[in-house]
A and B are shown apart, each in its own frame.
Chain A
Amino acid sequence: MSAYTTKTRKTLLIVLAVIAIGTLAFADLKKGEYVPSQLGSLQQPASPQLSPDANFAVSAYPIPAIELAPGDGVQEVRTYCNTCHSPRYITMQPPLPPASWEAEVNKMNKAFGANIPDEESHKIISYLQAHYATDTRR
């Protein structure tokens, strides 16, 4: 009985020593680690169907949805600014001083002929200053 226990202990100790040495030697080897994810955030486009005529065409340019900060004036931004460009022109900007947003809207009206009525222009300026200016951008 006692001989059997001693033998078992001996084996156990040897195995433990092997594991301990192995653990120390390969301690930095980290096994693969995985996290759940999503496929298709960037879909692979299908090949186009071509015909040998003179019309050289490509598919439509995608317009992904864009989130604008909710708030007063967001509807005016969507209506007027969207005439010439996507609102991504707004979200792409760094936080700008409030005066720069006013200058931008004035430039759209004067140089680019956006012709946004005064009341709506003011609403748009206030909206941009309230959400996309140096002190307000989140």
Chain B
Amino acid sequence: MLSRMGIAGVAWGLVPWTKGFSAFAQDQNSEKAIESFTGPGPNPHWNSIGPYISEPQKAPLILLTDRPVQLETPREYFRQVFTPNDAFYVRWHLSGIPNAVDLKKWKLHIEGNVKRPEALSLDDIIRNFKPVSVAATNQCSGNSRSRLQPRVAGAQWGNGAMGNAMWTGVPLKELLETTGVKDGSVQVQFQGLETGPGPNGLPSNLFLKSLDLSNEVIDECIVAYLMNGEPLPMLNGFPIRLVVPGYFATYWTKCLTWIRVLATSDENFWMKTGYRIPDKPRGTTTPEEVKTGNVKTLPIGRFPVRSFIVSPDGDSKLIPGVAISLNGIAFSGYGRVARVEISADDGKTWNLTKLGEDFGPYSFRAWSSSWTPKSAGRYSLAVRATDNKNNVQLDEPIWNPGGYLWNRIERQEYVVGEAS
């Protein structure tokens, strides 16, 4: 017994001199909570920094705000081309969002400058029209807003204010054909069940968005009652939401209840003041230019081409000499993703990746590649996508006061450890 203790004591004494036991110093691996705010520099994290929250019909998502609800999708869900409904990001503007919809009473109203106004039940919408499906990316105008320098006020999204789903419903055009559109109509306005406590006529009371009737996207819009083959979660717009393929999500009205044809163009805040971008290449300007008051603006529209490295996420060390599988997604609101490239030398040379299944021009497109780090050290990989209109991601950052349209080339840092 004594001799055993002696042996243990001597063995213990040996420990500090064996180089390997420096492993005892690995306390950085114990879990710490993320910082509570970022800035004035850019948010350095892939996602935003909020805590996780469990909302009805949702997996734990990253909380930006609770009333109204804004939730971000964690990075790992983008390993799939179709974002699961329960992980799909959430963004509302006004605090009065529905907890319940009574489908005995609820109707979709098609009204305004139409020949025969209609009010359709969900059952009418499902049974009286032939359903169509489209795979389409839904991305918040302010996705990645926390990257801008200088930082701008607004929801401080990381990259997770986006998702891709197979949307099933009725073409908007067919609905408008049932009512007929009067001559001289210019726009169609969309209103959902969302309301706020603000005074009538103000943007704190209603969230209203409109599209020009002459916009070619009208022919591609659908009024969707299924998302990835299931009813929409309440927070994503149950019972129906507008799908505007290729367009930022601000037009994808949730809990769509009024489709209103307009004889004059929509002058409400959400069209005239909010969600506007500089009428300049890439929608970029400077704070100084904005101060001059000479920056002409346009309503935001299609989203620019983007791509992301999803995995590995850089949170674990890699091994030298071993090929790892790089995976991610790409999309563009202007057309199909034509190619996705990876650079391991800070953009000097680019290597094509392999594209995954094509689900249509507006869907996420998976890409994959392989990379073998030669030796221990720190590495940075960059990813860029090009769409079939030849739009390509650039490395120059952009800035505009709304914090919209971010599509700079993304990078991922990796640490490769020593294997011997």
Residues of A within 8 A of B295 (CB): none
Contact B66 A63 (CB under 8 A): yes
Instruction: Return the contact of B156 from the options A30, A93, A100 (Cβ within 8 A).
Output: A93
Count of B residues near A, CB < 8 Å? 68
Provide the A82-108 mask, 1 if CB < 8 A to any CB of B, else 0: 011110110111111100100010000
Complexed CA–CA distance, A116 and B308 (Å): 43
Q: Is A57 an interface residue (CB 8 A)?
A: yes
Q: Is B153 an interface residue (CB 8 A)?
A: yes
Q: Is B321 an interface residue (CB 8 A)?
A: no
**Number of contact residues on A: which range applies?**
35 or more
Provide the A32-72 mask, 1 if CB < 8 A to any CB of B, else 0: 00010000001111001000001111111111100000000
Stretch in B93-101, B161-169, B340-348 touching the partner: B93-101
Contact B54 A113 (CB under 8 A): no
Known: A23-B11, A42-B54, A114-B204. A57 touches B198 (CB 8 A): no
Q: Is B299 an interface residue (CB 8 A)?
A: no
Q: Is B186 an interface residue (CB 8 A)?
A: no
Instruction: Return the contact of B102 from the options A54, A61, A94, A113 (Cβ within 8 A).
Output: A54
Contact B66 A91 (CB under 8 A): no
Contact A42 B60 (CB under 8 A): yes
Q: How far is the CB of A99 from chain B (nearest CB, A)?
A: 11
User: Chain B interface mostly helix, strand, loop or mixed?
Assistant: loop
Instruction: Return the contact of B198 from the options A23, A42, A89, A113 (Cβ within 8 A).
Output: A113
Q: How far is the CB of B376 from chain A (nearest CB, A)?
A: 15
Q: How far is the CB of A43 from chain B (nearest CB, A)?
A: 7
Q: Is A74 an interface residue (CB 8 A)?
A: no
Instruction: Return the contact of A23 from the options B3, B6, B15 (Cβ within 8 A).
Output: B15
Contact B234 A58 (CB under 8 A): yes
Residues of B within 8 A of A114 (CB): 198, 204
Q: Is A134 an interface residue (CB 8 A)?
A: yes
Q: Is A27 an interface residue (CB 8 A)?
A: yes
Contact A96 B153 (CB under 8 A): yes
Contact A95 B37 (CB under 8 A): yes
Which residues 33-63 in B have Cβ within 8 Å of A in the complex? 36-40, 43, 50-57, 60, 63
Contact A113 B204 (CB under 8 A): yes
Contact B99 A59 (CB under 8 A): yes
Q: Quick one: which of A42, A55, A61, A83 has the most chain B CB within 10 A?
A: A61
Complexed CA–CA distance, A88 and B37 (Å): 12
Residues of A within 8 A of B26 (CB): 30
Contact A58 B56 (CB under 8 A): yes
Contact B56 A56 (CB under 8 A): no
Provide the B71-100 mask, 1 if CB < 8 A to any CB of A, else 0: 000000000000000000000001101011
Sample of 4 more A-B contacts, CB < 8 Å, known A45-B54, A61-B66, A104-B153: A56-B239, A86-B65, A95-B39, A113-B202
15 contacts between A and B (CB under 8 A): A8-B3, A16-B11, A20-B11, A56-B100, A60-B99, A61-B97, A62-B54, A84-B94, A84-B204, A85-B95, A88-B64, A89-B65, A92-B65, A114-B204, A137-B39
